[in-house]
Structure 1
Amino acid sequence: MLRNMMLQFRLMKHYFIASALVFITGMVLGMGFSDQFQSFIETQLKGLEQLSQSINDKANPQWSLFWLIFWNNVSKSLLIIGLGVFFGILPLFFLLSNGLLLGYVVAVSTEKQSIIYVIKAILPHGIIEIPAVIFACAFGLRLGVLVLKSFGALTSPTRSTKFKEEFRSYAKALVPVFVIIVVTLTAAALIESTFTYWLVKPQ
């Protein structure tokens, strides 16, 4: 299983790069061209604000924050892999929209607060969380490509055999991939609900 997982990681190199570039593109759009996506951004921020308010009303806001972040990130990351079956479109949209929102938040927070505040609010957990999300979306994107390849496999027995082997190897790697995602996002949620929370909490 370990050997197969390492093989998949090597095969995934271009998917990781593509996913990271899409996320960065979203961030650039969010930082420099947010006016064109204002309606979408406001809708997303309103939802986050409501969640934040519900947490503040809890007896133990940090514990509630941990579970909210953990469940939101893990469920979406695992789901987005499966949704890659629709030709990889949804993982790409997920990356672009999350990059867009993060870029906007970074730009606004830098203007209203400072770059130091942004670093404290994002870097401690983001250095783990963002790569984990990109990692998950890359596997969703790969699934979409495999679905496209399945159509080509129908035209030739040789292609069909090759596709089945490739898909079987991909599927076998999903269990350790799920474990990696859950563990890394658990760590990110712990950091965000404790250390990041302490850093940005008004003194």
Structure 2
Amino acid sequence: MTSQNIIICISALLFILGVVIGSEMPHIDNESQKFIFQFENKCSNNVLFFYFLTNNLRLVGLLISGSALFGAPSCLNLMANGIFIGSTIKSAILTNKLLEFILLTLPHGIFEIPAIIIAGAAGFKIPYEIIRYLAGKKEQILTKEDIREYLTLALISIILIVIAAWIEANVTLKIAKAMLNSTKGI
């Protein structure tokens, strides 16, 4: 298994651990979770796109820059986002709104969640290579290949976030509305 695969697995496991923790937390019916189930939006698609894009790029930036503090911000942000998803899933199940949650998450989530995990992996890349160097498993702290892998992970996560933001602003709400309206007639 390559170092890139190892850090992606670590990143995914931390996110999944957050989801599990979030799903075990007490149910709190708060406003941030209710926002997910609202379908009326008074903003244009362009405003929504830039809102989602800047919000998600901020998160990706925190995850990617986790290397500067030896991966701690990456770890915390992966778990925090997982906890939010886990608690929102629990809330959706308890309030019989799982279908709405899925419809409002799946279209853009298939890009956004991997972007978050890959950005977390980028945040772990440099600390991982430093640990390998200190353990005597490599001769140089960082090689050109290590930097190339870090930048590749960062770029992939940014591209996925841009795609996710566009889908969230232009597709997700339309799909959710259409599918929910069709199920109400049944």
TM-score by length of 2: 0.78
Distance across 2 between alignment mates of 1:31 and 1:17: 21
Matched residue, 1:191 = 167
CA distance in 2, matches of 1:119, 1:194: 17
2:78 is the alignment partner of 1:95 = yes
* C-alpha displacement of 1:65: 1.4
Distance in 2 (alpha carbons) for counterparts of 1:34 and 1:167: 46
Instruction: Give the conservation status (yes or no) of the 8 Å contact 1:146–1:167.
Output: no
- The reply to whether residue 63 of structure 1 matches residue 40 of structure 2 is no
Q: Conserved in 1, the CA contact under 8 Å of 2:4 and 2:149? A: no
| Residue of 1, 24, 30 corresponding to 1:32 | 24
Give the whole-Å Cα distance in 2 for the aligned partners of 1:124 and 1:160. 42
Letter in 2 for 1:146: E
> Contact 2:114–2:157 at 8 Å: present in 1 too?
no
The amino acid that maps onto 1:121 is L
Q: Would the aligned equivalents of 2:118 and 2:154 in 1 still touch at CA under 8 Å?
A: no
The alignment's C-alpha RMSD in Å is: 3.2
The CA distance in 2 between the partners of 1:167 and 1:198, in whole Å, is 46
1:121 aligns with 2:113: no
Closer, same or farther: CA 124–98 of 1 in aligned 2, 3 Å: same
Gapped runs of 5+ residues in structure 1? 1-8, 154-158
- Partner secondary structure for residue 124 of structure 1: helix
Larger % of helix: which?
1
Given candidates 4, 14, 35, the residue that maps to 2:6 is: 14
Q: Secondary structure at the match of 1:180?
A: helix
Q: What secondary structure, in the 3-state scheme, does the structure 1 residue paired with 2:57 have?
A: helix
Ranges in structure 2 where 5+ consecutive residues have no aligned partner: 182-186
Which residue identity lines up with residue 100 of structure 2 in the other structure?
Answer: Y
Look up the SS of the partner of 2:70 in the other structure: coil
Match of 1:162? 139
Conserved? CA contact 1:87–1:147, under 8 Å? no
Cα drift, residue 147 of structure 1: 4.1
How far apart, in 1, do the equivalents of 2:32 and 2:132 lie?
A: 38
Aligned length: 176
How far does residue 182 in structure 1 lie from its aligned partner after superposition?
Answer: 2.2
Alpha-carbon separation, structure 2, partners of 1:123 and 1:57 = 22
